[in-house]
Amino acid sequence: MEKLSSGLRINRAGDDAAGLAISEKMRSQIKGLDMASKNSQDGISMIQTAEGALNETHDILQRMRELATQSANDTNTTDDRKEIQKEINQLTSEINRIGNTTEFNTKKLLNGDVKGTGGAGAADASATFDFGTVAAGDAGTSTKLSIGGEDYEIKFVSGDYDTTATSYNTGDKSISIAVATNTPTAQEIVDDVVQALKDMRGADPTLSLTEFTFANDGTDKLKITANATGNYAGTSGKDSIEFKSGRSVTVSNVVEGTNGAAGAAQLQIGANNAQAFVISINDMRAASLGIAGTAGGTANGVTNIEGSVTNGSVGASFTTADGVTNGTSNTPDEAALDVSTHDKATKAIEVIDNAIKNVSAERSKLGAYQNRLEHTINNLNTSSENLTAAESRIRDVDMAKEMMTQTKNSILSQAAQAMLAQSNQMPQGVLQLLR
């Protein structure tokens, strides 16, 4: 009767100990899958919010290009171009307003807060190389090199320091190494470190060189730590370089799981750990798009979606304009593109074209995110449905079977009661006859 009233075959551990443990594990997975599906739907809503705002940015840029083209025509007078400039200024301000205020659940989307970097982790590796002797005169020298398509600069400074290597948007990396007397030569260190980096370089991490001290004897260590500057899909690696007295130096690599720094949004799209989907949205304000800057300045190449810098300079100019909001502080100190002459207007057209290209790339990326998440939701729902059916077979009662069992038991009970009543009536009949 308890099973029929509760609808469960297992109401307590004693009903089926193994079945209870299995079904509880399945229940946690089902709840996780259902919540992951909701998370993915929320992610789509966030993406649609950002993409909708960028649609307006696109329209504004198209209008700005139209105005720049109009201003490039010398049939316009100086006063005509001043009126065109006024609208350019206001449109620039609106792009900044959209970038500063577009948000989802109070999370800013287009001001660079959701920008991150993806990549894979480093793999286990080891290498051995030798060092010679560095003279004190080598301090201050530097060497530029390219490793795996990335530019590095190794610089030598005297004394014992904690030194760092910084990754720039252009992909350049600078490595400063502290050297003292009676240590290997600068060029020998360059050659050996270059080879080590070639063999052990991860996926665009920031390299941090610490504990770098050379002594005449004993053992010192140089740790190259790959710190994730954004959100990395894999693990960041830690390379440990051990310097011993003499010429023998061993380089070993230990991979450690390290979370990326705050930046890109991570959507939990699975029921378990390490099932996050990283969403990165770049800064889409006027300065980042290259259509705003300092009065009298020149618009250079625009940083694209991957963080590299477009080569070349189009030479467009900016003009001071009251009321044009700054991309970060909303104060009237940012300058809009100058379209006051034919040459300036034509150069502004090229800058706006680059901005349109970047916004198009960002919208395309967001569309790809959305399409992927839609497939993710379908997969999660299918998994949840099938797992729910499996859990139900373990935990839920078979109502038909239990009803048949209950009915049978009820009939048997009623028959027994009838037989007992009949047996009680026979002695009563005998007593009546005796009276």
Residue 376 pLDDT class (50, 70, 90 cuts): very high
Residue 381 pLDDT class (50, 70, 90 cuts): very high
Residue 312 pLDDT class (50, 70, 90 cuts): very low
At 112, the amino acid letter reads: G
Range of lowest pLDDT (86-90, 113-117, 167-171, 294-298): 167-171
pLDDT confidence of residue 421: 78
Query: What is the pTM assigned to this prediction?
Result: 0.59
Most confident of 116-130, 141-155, 195-209: 141-155
Residue 116 pLDDT class (50, 70, 90 cuts): low
pLDDT confidence of residue 420: 81
Residue 333 pLDDT class (50, 70, 90 cuts): low
What tokens were used for 362? 């960002």
pLDDT confidence of residue 320: 52
pLDDT confidence of residue 10: 81
Alpha carbon separation from 82 to 291, 299, 323, 338, 352 (Å, rounded): 18, 21, 15, 10, 19
Q: List the one residue out of 139, 185, 181 whose CA is nearest residue 158.
A: 139
Q: Which residue has the higher pLDDT, 199 or 263?
A: 263
Lookup result for tokens 């049978």? 408
The whole-chain average pLDDT of the chain stands at 69
Residue 141 has pLDDT above 60, yes or no: no
Residue 294 pLDDT class (50, 70, 90 cuts): low
pLDDT confidence of residue 180: 40
pLDDT confidence of residue 307: 28
What does 262-276 look like in DSSP terms, one character per residue? S-SEEEE-SSSTT-E
Q: List the one residue out of 185, 182, 200, 260 whose CA is nearest residue 228.
A: 260
Residue 373 pLDDT class (50, 70, 90 cuts): very high
pLDDT confidence of residue 192: 53
pLDDT confidence of residue 7: 73
Note the Cα 302 to chain centre separation in Å: 22
Q: List the one residue out of 215, 159, 155, 154 whose CA is nearest residue 182.
A: 215
> Alpha-carbon distance 9 to 395, whole Å?
6
Q: Which residue has the higher pLDDT, 48 or 301?
A: 48
272 burial via Cβ count (<10 Å: 0-12, 13-18, 19+): exposed
Residue 316 pLDDT class (50, 70, 90 cuts): low
Residue 101 has pLDDT above 50, yes or no: yes
Range of lowest pLDDT (5-19, 23-37, 238-252, 332-346): 238-252
Residue 341 pLDDT class (50, 70, 90 cuts): very high
What tokens were used for 335? 């300058």
> Alpha-carbon distance 353 to 163, whole Å?
41
pLDDT confidence of residue 129: 29
pLDDT confidence of residue 205: 37
The per-residue pLDDT for range 158-206, each reduced to its tens digit, is: 443 333 332 223 334 444 444 443 444 444 454 555 555 555 444 333 3
pLDDT confidence of residue 168: 27
